Structure 1
Amino acid sequence: MSMAELVAAGAPELPEGWFYRVKDDGMGYLEVEVRERRKRFGSRLLITALVREDEPNGRRAVAVACCRAVARIDEEREHARRLRQASQLIGDHPRGGR
């Protein structure tokens, strides 16, 4: 299945250099990985999501798992952004002080 087929089934389009990998997790379930190609060789794993069996269509089930994986990446980025903002407040804050 190509990325175009996954997108047609409802998966989000990924940025340039990223791709989906659908694989057997070894425990009888399918898993979607979002991966980023490395410049020299191979790829690095960004996030995974299990393909749930409650979808009536296999392609749709994989596309839904892709959506969950991308949403988790977005949530983690938002969490990191909030953490960076909060970390600017690290230090002592005495009453009336600077």
Structure 2
Amino acid sequence: MNQPITHNEHAAAGADHGQPFEIVINAEPFEIKQKELTFRELCLLAFPDGQFGENVAWTVTYSDPHGPEGSMVDGDTIKVKKGMVFNVGRSDKS
């Protein structure tokens, strides 16, 4: 079910869950504290004004310098490690 990303989901992306470490999203460094991020939290970090809906398609891919590469879909959660690189895209399905 496609729903707008809520402010609470965005606030959760900044929740205090440990020592800060750096990840990269769309070539921009981000300092985070949590050990897990959801698909939607990653989308909001990349695009703070992001909305989910029937006409918006999101893509999230990632690479771990010490582990696997992959992709995520809405509803996924990933364990985040220092140095991980995420590419988040959005497009209008017009």
Structures share a fold, TM > 0.5?
no
Alignment TM class, shorter chain as reference: under 0.3
Answer 1 or 2: which has greater strand percent.
2
TM-score normalised to structure 2 length: 0.24
User: RCO (CA 8 Å, sep 6+): is it higher in 1 or 2?
Assistant: 2
Larger radius of gyration: 1
Answer 1 or 2: which has greater helix percent.
1
